[in-house]
Amino acid sequence: MKIIDNLKDGYQILKENNISSYKIDCEILMSQTLDISREEVLLNLEKEIKKKEREIYFNLINRRKKNEPIAYITNNKCFWRDKFITNKNVLIPRPDSEHLVEQTLRIIKKNQTKRILDVGVGSGCLSISILKERPYCKCDAIDLSINALKLAKINANLHQFSDRIKFYKTDVDNFYNDKYDLVISNPPYINKHKIKYLDSIIYEPKIALDGGLDGLEVIKKVISKSKNLLKINGKLVLEIGYDQKYKVTKFLKEKNFFINKIIKDYGNKTRCIVSTKIN
Ligand SMILES: C[S@@+](CC[C@H](N)C(=O)[O-])C[C@H]1O[C@@H](n2cnc3c(N)ncnc32)[C@H](O)[C@@H]1O
């Protein structure tokens, strides 16, 4: 049977299961099955595939029809300028978090040597993307989850950064080290009670999403701790939930941070705050 016919059967199944991205998903899953790029799939629509390949493809389609994210099925996700390995132990890198990378790169000039701390490293997508663009910087990365750290190390090796990132398994609350020029963090910030309504909770780790009763528990820990971990004039670049701007800026000011910038995402929702430790 031809690629095009298998794609059409896949479209039908995913469409019936309300997967709005059914077209691109089928093409990605076909490219995963045949181990070729999506472009090659589209250039070879009339090519016949083997029975075994059809079986593999429909196994993947059946996973996707149950709403399993594509990034977990293919085990990778593009973020910033690279591909990162993903699995169920880490949050899937989000395009929204690219704002944090962009803001950090605006702070650090190309030839500067800075020490960065990444709190809640997950897959490693933030630190690795930043280190790639800033060749003289080094990063310490912490996470509570040993399995997330294992994957972040794999990604760091893959991108050949293992000598520029050090990993620590710890709660941010218990982390003591030298002073950093920058702290970056995309902490869990979803209100505990709202988590059950998220589609992704079936697949993504709760530890990466759960921000406690008010959604601000880990954010507050990161801010309080950054007060000790940052040098004077050091910068804190924080991703937050769209409805947390007022509470987070108030808390930052209480902790003597100066608010430099509040960044909105492409959907015009608050996404990221850049602040400076002033004393
Ligand atoms: C929202 S995910 C972000 C992952 C990655 N940085 C990204 O942007 O895709 C938050 C990460 O913080 C970790 N984490 C949660 N609570 C933590 C804590 N108290 N101390 C350190 N890491 C924590 C989770 O295990 C998870 O990997």
User: What string of DSSP letters covers 71-83?
Assistant: HHHHTEEEETTEE
Q: How many residues does the chain have?
A: 279
Q: Is the pLDDT of residue 12 over 80?
A: yes
> How confident is the model over 222-235, as a mean pLDDT?
97
Would you give the end-to-end CA distance of the chain in angstroms? 68
On the question of pLDDT at 167 being above 80, the answer is yes
Which residue, judged by its Cα, is nearest atom 27 of ligand 1? 122
* CB-CB neighbours of 95 under 10 Å: 12
Of 41, 22, 23, 44, the closest CA to residue 31 belongs to 41
User: Which amino acid residue places its CA nearest to atom 12 of ligand 1?
Assistant: 120
Q: Where are the alpha helices (DSSP H) in 159-232?
A: 217-229
Is 152 a pocket residue for ligand 1 (Cβ < 6 Å)? no
Burial of 202 (0-12, 13-18, 19+ CB in 10 A): exposed
pLDDT in tens, 21-37: 999 999 999 999 999 99
Query: Is 110 a residue whose pLDDT tops 90?
Result: yes
The domain locations on the chain are 3-67, 77-277
Model confidence, pTM: 0.94
Distances (CA, A) of 152 to 9, 85, 124, 160, 262: 36, 9, 5, 12, 28
- CB 186 less than 6 A from any atom of ligand 1: yes
CB 31 within 8 A of CB 38: yes
* Percent of the chain clearing pLDDT 70 (strictly above): 99
Query: Which residue, by CA, sits nearest to atom 19 of ligand 1?
Result: 171
List the one residue out of 110, 111, 208 whose CA is nearest residue 151: 208
Q: Rounded to the nearest whole angstrom, what is the distance from the C-alpha of residue 20 to the centroid of ligand 1?
A: 29
* Distance from residue 140's CA to the centre of ligand 1 (Å): 14
Topology of the domain covering 77-277: Rossmann fold (3.40.50)
Which ligand 1 atom sits nearest the alpha carbon of residue 171? 20
Ligand 1 neighbour 126 (Cβ under 6 A): yes
Q: How far apart are CA 217 and CA 209, in angstroms?
A: 11
Classify domain 3-67 by CATH number: 1.10.8
Which atom number of ligand 1 is nearest to the Cα of residue 187?
Answer: 10
Of 22, 153, 18, 13, nearest in space to 87 by CA: 153
Q: Inform me whether the pLDDT recorded for 200 exceeds 70.
A: no
Q: Whose CA is nearest to atom 18 of ligand 1?
A: 171
Say whether 122 sits in a helix, a strand or coil: coil
